[in-house]
Amino acid sequence: MNPNAGVIREGTARVSMAAVIAMLAVSAASPQENAADKRPAFEVATIKLSAPNAPFGRVMPSSPNRLSIPSMTLVWLVYTAYGDGGFNTAMRVTGGPDWATKTTFAVEGVASGNATLRQRRLMLQTLLEDRFALKVRITETQTADVNTLVVDRADGKLGPKVKEWDGTCRIGKPSEDDDPAVPRCPSGYRAGGITLDGATMFSAGEVLSLPQARPLLGNITVDQTGLKGRYTMELDYPFAPPRPADPAAPVDLGVPSLPTAIREQWGLRVVRGQGPFRVAVIESAQLPPSN
């Protein structure tokens, strides 16, 4: 499962990451209509109210056959289960009962054997639909105004701070899962910049959509580089702490602009464009029964 970190409130993703993310216009059928019986399910699972001091909004490190979530609201569980596995910065969850944004739950799931990140997300979908009687409608579109991340040079050469990933991590060992939405190594914001290790350009776009960089770019950023490999990337930039009261307000750090730094260091360019955005509507849900 994607190593989300942050806070999602009232259906809007506001994620803060620490160092450890042709026109579709398609309204997808609800998961209950998409042959749910073909999706994997946990062999054993529990859902209960979370402990008062449980860490909120985290998917805790665990074994390949286990999912452990100490504390999430139903809204954030929907982000986790129905998102793309990254930080889901191009996604919004709406609807549902009032408690879906307030009551927090602890979720434990054990599969019969090792499962990939994607399989565990599908298992979580099955669990939510079973225990919460959840009905959710997913709509995907490519008509949203976003920033797009593209290769700057015509010859495709990237910047001096982007290297092809060599299969090793600077910290720890690579994760066994090869989910393109998730870096294989600890990645994220650090003092004075960003480190991405074993990450795809999809993750680069998502990291630039988080609260540290988004005020400087004015919108979420989506990958349109066309690059499918994994990379080790460093971006040296003095990001200011995010300002939750007004995360979209312009910030003047007294240094060259962030788009300039991205162009000079990564060989990528941030341009206005159209990109995918997913909306998940909770049509109905019930409090889960006691385990």
How many domains is the chain built from? 2
Q: What is the structure's pLDDT at 19? A: 31
Q: Provide the pLDDT for residue 28.
A: 32
Report if residue 150 sits inside a domain: yes
Residues 28 and 151 occupy one common structural domain: no
Q: Which residues of the chain have pLDDT under 70?
A: 1-37, 61, 241-253, 291
Q: β-pairing, 193-199 with 221-223? A: unpaired
Is the same domain home to 259 and 163? yes
Kindly report, residue by residue over 211-262, the tens digit of the pLDDT.
999 999 999 999 999 999 999 999 999 997 655 555 556 566 678 899 999 9
- Asked if 146 and 136 sit in the same domain, the reply is no
Domain that holds residue 242: 142-276
Same domain, 88 and 154: no
- HEC readout, the chain: CCCCCCEEECCEEECCCCCCCCCCCEECCCHHHCCHHHCCCCCEEEEEECCCCCCCCCCCCCCCCEEEEEEEEHHHHHHHHHCCCCCCCCEEEEECCHHHHCCEEEEEEECCCCCCHHHHHHHHHHHHHHHCCCEEEEEEEEEEEEEEEEECCCCCCCCCCEEECCCCCCCCCCCCCCCCCCCCCCCEEECCEEEEEEECHHHHHHHHCCCCCHHHHCCCEEECCCCCCCEEEEEECCCCCCCCCCCCCCCCCCCCCHHHHHHHHHCEEEEEEEEEEEEEEEEECCCCCCC
Whether residue 83 is found in the same domain as residue 30: yes
In a shared domain, residues 136 and 184: no
Q: What is the pLDDT of residue 252?
A: 63
11 with 128, same domain: the answer is yes
Same domain, 126 and 160: no
Reported pTM: 0.74
Same domain, 178 and 213: yes
Judgement on whether residues 209 and 117 belong to the same structural domain of the protein: no
Q: Does any domain span residue 289?
A: no
How confident is the model at residue 245, as a pLDDT? 56
User: Does one domain contain both 103 and 166?
Assistant: no
Indicate whether 235 and 118 sit together in one domain: no
Residue given tokens 């709509």 in the structure block: 139
